[in-house]
């Protein structure tokens, strides 16, 4: 039996948790937004039934495959030896696994592999608030004073490049891969998949994140509200069909 009164929220979900309701009265009362409730239904499904929605796509797949390379590139760029962190950290409200922690310097890093030049450069004015809140959560759990969001552009995985080259070849009426028409089209396509021949200084964006006690206090209150919502939702779900009686 799941004890929803002890539910803790992943740092990566803090942005959804703390999204404010559109209605001013609900906002002033500290109520949960519809965005938050929708996320909490996913939390309920995972905790109650072990169900987790598959959100993989070409963007997340590239990020997962390229993460080791991203950390290696970051190590060279920052001049600090870094390794992938596998340890999970938590307190009574939130839980998370930072990508990289540097205990001796009390800083942590979160790497985000961008898909192409556009998805990198659109961050020039700053990362999205969900990503910032995620790192504020990490800082709270670890008691660190500084974190960095790292947006980095790397080549697509070699197997993906090979598949795309084969797809392009088979889609056309080419005699061989040495055909001038194919080589010209592949040269253009390859530009959208290889980036590491450009200087790393142009392919990496770093953003500093500092502790935010006010936001963390808000998040704690939302976690408590979320626990109440989950308990009530469970009771509603459990009793949902009790009013129907077809035996009489």
- Tell me whether residue 226 is in a domain: yes
Distance CA 126, CA 106 (A): 23
* Phi and psi torsions of 16, nearest 5°: -70, -40
Q: What is the domain range of residue 103? A: 4-155+195-235
- Tell me whether residue 182 is in a domain: no
Q: What string of pLDDT tens digits covers the 248 residues of the chain?
A: 789 999 999 999 999 999 999 988 888 888 999 999 999 999 999 999 999 988 878 888 998 999 999 999 999 999 999 999 999 999 999 999 999 999 999 999 999 999 999 999 999 999 999 999 999 999 999 999 999 999 999 999 999 999 999 999 998 888 899 999 999 999 999 999 999 999 999 999 999 999 999 999 999 999 999 999 999 999 999 999 888 877 76
* Number of C-beta neighbours around residue 76 at 10 A: 11
The CA-atom distances, in angstroms, between 210 and each of 139, 152, 181 are 8, 20, 52
Determine the straight-line distance between the first and last CA of the chain, rounded to whole angstroms.
Answer: 32
Helices (H) and strands (E) in the chain, counts: 10, 7
Distance CA 93, CA 98 (A): 16
Q: Which of these, 197, 238, 219, lies nearest to 44 by C-alpha position? A: 238
Distance CA 55, CA 68 (A): 21
- Tell me whether residue 94 is in a domain: yes
- Tell me whether residue 185 is in a domain: no
- pLDDT on residue 76: 94
Give the residues across from 246 on adjacent strands: none
- Tell me whether residue 246 is in a domain: no
pTM, two decimal places: 0.91
Please count the structural domains in the chain. Answer: 1
Token readout for 189 is 């396509």
Count of all residues that appear for the chain in the document: 248
Token readout for 159 is 């197997």
List the Cα angle 197/200/204 in 5-degree steps. 130
* Number of C-beta neighbours around residue 156 at 10 A: 22
Give the residues across from 206 on adjacent strands: 150
Distance CA 200, CA 240 (A): 56
* Number of C-beta neighbours around residue 23 at 10 A: 12
- Tell me whether residue 67 is in a domain: yes
- Tell me whether residue 247 is in a domain: no
CATH of the domain at 128: 3.90.320.10
Give the residues across from 96 on adjacent strands: 89
Distance CA 133, CA 106 (A): 18
Distance CA 147, CA 211 (A): 9
- Tell me whether residue 228 is in a domain: yes
């Amino acid at each position: 039996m799941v004890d929803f009164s002890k539910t803790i929220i992943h740092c990566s979900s803090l942005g959804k948790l703390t999204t404010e309701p559109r209605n001013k009265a609900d906002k002033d009362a500290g109520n949960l937004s519809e965005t938050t409730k929708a996320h909490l239904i996913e939390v309920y499904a995972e905790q109650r039934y072990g169900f987790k929605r598959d959100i993989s796509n070409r963007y997340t797949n590239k990020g997962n495959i390229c993460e080791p390379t991203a950390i290696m590139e970051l190590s060279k760029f920052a001049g600090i030896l870094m390794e992938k962190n596998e340890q999970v950290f938590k307190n009574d409200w939130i839980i998370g696994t930072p990508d990289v922690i540097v205990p001796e310097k009390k800083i942590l890093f979160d790497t985000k592999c961008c898909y192409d030049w556009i998805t990198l450069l659109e961050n020039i004015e700053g990362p999205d608030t969900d990503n910032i809140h995620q790192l504020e959560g990490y800082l709270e759990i670890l008691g660190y004073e500084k974190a960095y969001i790292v947006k980095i552009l790397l080549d697509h995985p070699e197997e993906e490049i090979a598949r795309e080259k084969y797809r392009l070849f088979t889609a056309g009426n080419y005699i061989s891969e040495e055909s001038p028409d194919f080589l010209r089209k592949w040269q253009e396509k390859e530009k959208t998949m290889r980036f590491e021949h450009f200087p790393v200084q142009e392919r990496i964006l770093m953003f500093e994140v500092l502790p935010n006690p006010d936001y963390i206090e808000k998040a704690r209150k939302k976690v408590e509200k979320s626990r109440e919502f989950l308990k009530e939702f469970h009771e509603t779900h459990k009793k949902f069909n009790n009013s129907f009686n077809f035996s009489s």
